[in-house]
Amino acid sequence: MKRILLAAVLAAAVCSAASAQKFEGLAQTPPMGWSSWNKFACDINEKVIKEVADALVKSGLRDAGYVYLNLDDCWHGERDSLGFIQADPVKFPSGIKALADYVHARGLKLGIYSDAGRKTCGGRPGSFGHEYQDALQYARWGVDYLKYDWCESEDINPVGAYNLMRDALRAAGRPILFSMCEWGTSKPWTWAAETAHQWRTTGDIYNCFDCVDQHPGWAAYGVLQILDMQEGLRKYAGPGHWNDPDMLEVGNGQSESEDRAHFTMWCMLAAPLILGNDVRDMSRQTSDILLNREVIAIDQDTLGIQGLKFKAEDGLEFWFKPLAGGDWAFCILNRTTEAKTYTIDWQQFNLYDDVARRFTDFDSKTYAVRDLWERRDDGDTRKPRTVTVQGHDVKLFKLRIEN
């Protein structure tokens, strides 16, 4: 009888999903939260996740917008006799539903992880062949976010695989943010706007500012390498569908200036801000970076347009990001390890952004200048200014239109 009921439920789900789309209204600004992978990898358990939930609240991170608490790989146990996935009974003895209730009670949302292939990257059961069952299970548990990876995916078509899980989530009935982690191999930015709320544009990030971690057949990339891979992608992102350059490594051992630059550039990219550090034990420097609401506001700007690199000169890059109301964010990134002094002549930065369809018009408009890391007003754009940018660091300004 149970198997007959299961078959009926799945058949009904498949029929209802024949013309399904992703849940609309989610991720109108880039999602913000925390994920277990960068710090803990497979070494996660119920106690750690509950402590992280409490720390997100106590630290002020939740109130700053980091609301998704995401279990990454290795939470899985086995499938039951009907094929429904279960949590690892040793790591999560209370089960995922109880954990979701704990997280929700603290004003947070629970994310979970699976894989379109036969196994996850950590060797746990993948969702291949069980997509509708897994989506139903996540909905029953109260999950709010699904990261869907791409290991053990030989001979699987990515468009079909990700659309299948999208339809399964829709049929399950609970609004779940769908995060594709296909590593950019099939150029998902060209096709996935109707499928997911965000898609990875690269392979995994590596905890390094400027290097590549090379392995046989694959590589992980430092901050600058991933930043360079975003070239040409900005026109594909926007409210409800974001380019994802992977999770943040802020607070995981890079220098303070590198952490600040990393965080700033992800905000300029309108990237999802998914923390990867141990938020239970943050330094003051890390906390100050992650909780700078003026910088977060650049990422979360409602216009939802990714920044553009205008030019590069002597190791410096100059970026603009159009903001709502006619404002701009302006960033200078120092890719070198030496301090650089530069005189900003605003008249040299007259540009037209073909995505925002807007000119900067420094020759006819005046903008008030706000230094977002120094947290101070800094005159306006009528006169040049000279700044010094430390090695592997940034200067970040908000330009507020005055006339």
State the CATH number of the domain containing residue 317. 2.60.40.1180
If one counts the domains in the chain, the total is: 2
Q: Of 299, 328, 357, which residue sits at a domain end?
A: 299
Active-site option among 73, 115, 149, 244: 149
Query: Of these residues, 73, 144, 167, 204, which one is catalytic?
Result: 204
Based on the domain organization, do 218 and 254 belong to the same domain? yes
Query: Per the domain annotation, does 5 fall within a domain?
Result: no
301 in active site: no
CATH number at residue 266: 3.20.20.70
> Are 237 and 117 in the same domain?
yes
Look at residue 325 in the predicted model and tell me its pLDDT.
Answer: 97
Is residue 2 situated within a structural domain?
no
Residue 204 designated active-site: yes
Q: CA-to-CA distance for 157 and 335, rounded, in angstroms? A: 38
> Does 276 share its domain with 354?
no
Kindly state whether residues 292 and 326 are assigned to the same domain. no
The C-alpha atoms of residue 160 and residue 181 are separated, in whole angstroms, by: 14
Alpha-carbon distance 39 to 278, whole Å? 6
137 and 195 in a common domain: yes
Q: Is residue 86 domain-shared with residue 177, that is, in the same domain? A: yes
Listed residues 281, 299, 317: the one ending a domain? 299
**What Cα–Cα distance (Å) separates residue 7 from each residue in 3, 13, 177, 205, 290?**
6, 10, 26, 41, 47
Residue 4 within a domain = no
- CA 190/CA 56 separation, integer angstroms: 35
Q: Is residue 334 part of a domain?
A: yes
Asked whether residue 74 is assigned to any structural domain, the reply reads yes
Domain that holds residue 324: 308-401
The last residue of one of the domains, among 279, 299, 319, is 299
Residues 271 and 168 in one domain: yes
Contact between 251 and 225 under an 8 Å Cβ cutoff? The reply is no
CA atoms in the 13 A half-sphere facing the CB of 135 = 30
Q: Please report whether residue 3 resides in a domain.
A: no
- Tens of pLDDT, residue by residue, the chain (403 residues): 445 445 444 554 444 444 579 999 999 999 999 999 999 999 999 999 999 999 999 999 999 999 999 999 999 999 999 999 999 999 999 999 999 999 999 999 999 999 999 999 999 999 999 999 999 999 999 999 999 999 999 999 999 999 999 999 999 999 999 999 999 999 999 999 999 999 999 999 999 999 999 999 899 999 999 999 999 999 999 999 999 999 999 999 999 999 999 999 999 999 999 999 999 999 999 999 999 999 999 999 999 999 999 999 999 999 999 999 999 999 999 999 999 999 999 999 999 999 999 999 999 999 999 999 999 999 999 999 999 999 999 999 999 999 7
Residues 200 and 110 in one domain: yes
Domain identity same for 292 and 312: no
Angle at 239 (CA atoms; ends 235, 240), nearest 5 degrees: 110
